[in-house]
Amino acid sequence: MKQLIDYFQSGFALIPIPHGQKGPIVSNWNLKENVITNTQQKSLLDDSNIGLAHAYCSPEPTCAIDFDDLDKAKHWFHENHINIDRYIEADNAVHICSGRPNRMKLLYRLPNGVLRTHVIKDQAQTILEFRCATREGLTVQDVIPPSIHPETSQPYTWGGKGSYQSIPMIPEDIHTLWKLKLIPIQNITKPVVSTLPESPKNVATLISALDQISSDCDYESYRNIVWAIKSTGWTVANEIALIWSQKAMDRFNEETFNTLINSYSFDHTNPVTVGTIFHLAKAGGQK
């Protein structure tokens, strides 16, 4: 099938899904070693639906903005100061269409590694989902053409003015909003008064700076960055550090991370400060 060859040439990582299903039924399907990435394996996709394994695509992971209720999702984006119609109708926009009314998916590449999937709800109803990976960094998947939708018995189709062979990078404002939504709102007394006040603007600025610094680094550099994040005294510091750390999932160790978080002291005689992060970001992340 030519379309499969196009998928592999585009760096897609694929997962076989039984007909009549929207998701894999075998265990460990979301491990990197179990996805299909080349034509030598394409027979494994015979007579099946196909899932796109976002976290394992190359050269960058893919992701989907999944609109379960397009009308309400547009309103939600508007409240967050983003005109999502601009991106839906963009010349490079790539849609996954199931044929169901008021639903669609926007497909993007992620420039700085995987992000944890996040669901937006209106009371109990899901209206929108940012989809890429689990908290542990394992992939999630979305069904792509020529799969058959189990509820409508109609094929999934590609939509938008762009091409699945040239998926665009996620727009910066959507990328930043996603990362901000991964940070939980907490009511915790700060241990110190931070020299950099905690605000949405400052949080976004710090996250943007961290995007310029690789977490695939030696232990001392890794420790210093985590402690520099902690030095803010922000209620969301731990989550920001976790998001940054998990960009290098092959090296991420939860026990090491927790040890660093719990061992940080605001009373250190020679503390690492948040200025370290901005200095490294300005230097292009070079240590």
What pLDDT does 285 receive? 52
Alpha-carbon distance of 130 to 115, in angstroms, equals 9
Alpha-carbon distance of 241 to 179, in angstroms, equals 12
What pLDDT does 140 receive? 96
Alpha-carbon distance of 202 to 15, in angstroms, equals 39
What pLDDT does 185 receive? 55
**What tokens were used for 175?**
């990328």
What pLDDT does 287 receive? 44
- Distance of alpha carbon 140 from the chain centroid: 10
Q: Can you give the C-alpha Rg of the chain in angstroms?
A: 20
What domains can be seen in the chain, in order of their start residue? 2-180 (3.30.2250), 183-282 (no CATH)
Number of Cβ atoms within 10 Å of the Cβ of 172: 11
Which residue numbers in the chain have pLDDT < 50? 186-193, 286-287
What pLDDT does 270 receive? 77
Alpha-carbon distance of 231 to 260, in angstroms, equals 12
Q: What tens digit of pLDDT does each residue of 9-57 get?
A: 999 999 999 987 888 888 899 999 999 999 888 788 888 899 999 999 9
**Strands lying side by side in the sheet with 157-159:** 118-122, 125-131, 62-67, 104-109, 95-97, 157-159
**Looking at the DSSP assignment, which residues form a beta bridge with residue 94?**
none
